Amino acid sequence: EADIYQTPRYLVIGTGKKITLECSQTMGHDKMYWYQQDPGMELHLIHYSYGVNSTEKGDLSSESTVSRIRTEHFPLTLESARPSHTSQYLCATRGGSGNTEAFFGQGTRLTVV
């Protein structure tokens, strides 16, 4: 059983608010990822981290920011939410090198009104 948790599962928030999506894992994995997924669309990598104090932008430009102060946590922050940020956000982790599957959280479905 994968131990990766995302909170909240669902969030409806007004335009201009600051929000932080939480992602926590108890597997001690170095690699963590944030994906954005619009309904019926592909996964887009928006941020990733290969360890503490390491963060990189992904393929899809995003106005969000991330931090990795601890191995277990990889929060994603939107300073000023907009309706265009409405989407599902999926967090994932992977272990070391070699054949390692990615474990996904259940996702946060964000709606900005």
Partner 1 sequence: GEDVEQSLFLSVREGDSSVINCTYTDSSSTYLYWYKQEPGAGLQLLTYIFSNMDMKQDQRLTVLLNKKDKHLSLRIADTQTGDSAIYFCAEDPGGYQKVTFGIGTKLQVIP
**What residues make contact with partner 1 under the rule CB under 8 A?**
6, 31, 33, 35, 40-43, 45, 48, 50, 58, 90, 92, 94, 97-99, 101-107, 109
Cα distances (Å, whole numbers) of residue 70 to 21, 37, 51, 63, 111: 15, 25, 8, 22, 28
| C-beta closer to partner 1: residue 58 or 75 | 58
Closest distance between partner 1 and the C-beta of residue 62, in Å? 15
Least distance in angstroms from the C-beta of 50 to partner 1? 6
